[in-house]
Amino acid sequence: MIVADSDVLIDFLRGAEPVAGRMAIEIGTGRLCTTAMSAFEIRSGSRGRRQADAIERLLDALQVLPIDHEAARRAAEVRCALEKEGKPIGLADYLVAGVCLSLGAMLLTRNRREFGRVPGLSLAELSLADDD
């Protein structure tokens, strides 16, 4: 399972490579998901009906993973650990990481600087190479 972060969802909607190509392939395999937090983020940034419709079509093609009890627990653990180290990340990023960690999923993101700090989180490559 690969979880797409909001930054790569936005890149896909804009047709930006290499992300758009990678995501198109992953959508076709049925392995690509996103989180409720990322869905919130991209919906919040939509401007106009056409963009909102494109976002809904994209989200309809993906499984949107909830932030359940286990994901929230994992997110809180990560937050406590990173803040103790003096290396916090954004609140939304904690929740996205928590979902991925709770499911053992890889995260597809360009934000490797922040997500790279999360212990145990696997980051998928943006290239078309297989990262299983």
Can you give the residue ranges of every domain in the chain?
Answer: 2-124
User: CATH: 3.40.50.1010, 3.40.190.10, 3.40.1160.10, 2.60.40.10. Which one for 2-124?
Assistant: 3.40.50.1010
- Which tens digit of pLDDT belongs to each residue from 52-109? 999 999 999 999 999 999 999 999 999 999 999 999 999 999 999 999 999 999 999 9
Mean pLDDT of 28-46: 93
Of the listed ranges 25-29, 36-40, 78-82, 110-114, the least confidently predicted one is 25-29
The answer to whether the beta carbons of residues 13 and 47 sit under 8 Å apart is no
Kindly report the pTM of this predicted structure: 0.89
